[in-house]
Amino acid sequence: MGLLDDRTAVITGGNSGIGLATAKRLAAEGAFVFVTGRRQAELDAAVKEIGDNAVGVRGDVTEPEDLDRLYRVVADHGRGIDVLFANAAVIDVARLGEITEQHLDYLLDIDFKGLVFTVQKALPLLNDGASVILNSSNANAKGSDAYGVYAAIKAAVRSLARTWASELRDKGIRVNAVSPGATDTPGLEAFAHQLLPGPDALEEFDQLTAAIPMGRRGEPDEVANAVLFLASDLSSYTTGAEIPVDGGINQI
C-alpha cells in the first residue's frame, strides 16, 4: 500500500525538474497524477516517465482558459482533487535600478498571479481534507543581491499559505509551502549564466553555493520527498507551515 492510494494529485509545471520528480514520487505512492506543462513534447515524455496513472494537460498558468481546461479534464475523469501542488514558477533577477516593467510582469504573472489562480480555480474540485502545497523559495527568508522582486513574491506566497490555511480550515483543507534552495534542475545552468554573465558562470555559481552547510546543491527528489510529506497523512496536523529544503543555508 502507498501513502496516496486512491488519491488524485494535480501538479503544475510537472514536465521537468521539481515538478516531474514530485509527480513520479506521488504516483509511486499510489496517486493518480495530472501534470501540466507549456511544451507538448516535454509533457508527453514526462507522462511516459511517470507511468500509466498519469495524464498530461498542456497549459500555461498565466492563461486562465488553460487552467479552466486543466480542471475540466480532471472533472471529466470523474475525480476531485486530494493534492494540489502549485509548482509552476520561474526565476529572474535584477538589481534595484535595473528593474524593468517586463521583469516585474514576468515574475508576477507566473509566480504570483499564476499560483493564485491555480488554487482559486481548483476550489470547486478540492475534496474535503485535501492538501494544497505552494512552491515558495528559500530566497523569501534571505536578502540576496538582485533577488529583490523574486524574493518578495516568494515571501507573498509564504504569506498566502498562512491565509489560505485559515480560510479553508472548515473543509479540513491544509495549505502549506515548500521552500527549495539551490536545486539541480534543467534551468539551473541558464539561471547561473543570467546571474553571473561570463564563460565561468557555473564555476562561480558553485562557489556561491559552497556556503550551503550541507556542502552541495539539492536534488529534485529531495524536494519531492518534502512535498510527499505535506501531501500525505503523515502531515495531518501541519497547516500554514513552510518546509525549507535548502541544505540549511537559512537555518544555521
User: Which residues are marked as active site?
Assistant: 150
CA distance 42 to 38: 8
CA distance 111 to 150: 8
Question: In which element (H, E) is residue 131 found?
Answer: strand 126-135
5, three cell numbers:
492510494
Q: What is the chain's length?
A: 252
151, three cell numbers:
524574493
Non-local (6+) Cβ contacts of 120 within 8 A are none
From the list 165, 187, 192, 189, the residue with the least C-alpha distance to 176 is: 165
167, three cell numbers:
480560510
Output phi, psi for 19, to 5 deg.
Answer: -65, -45
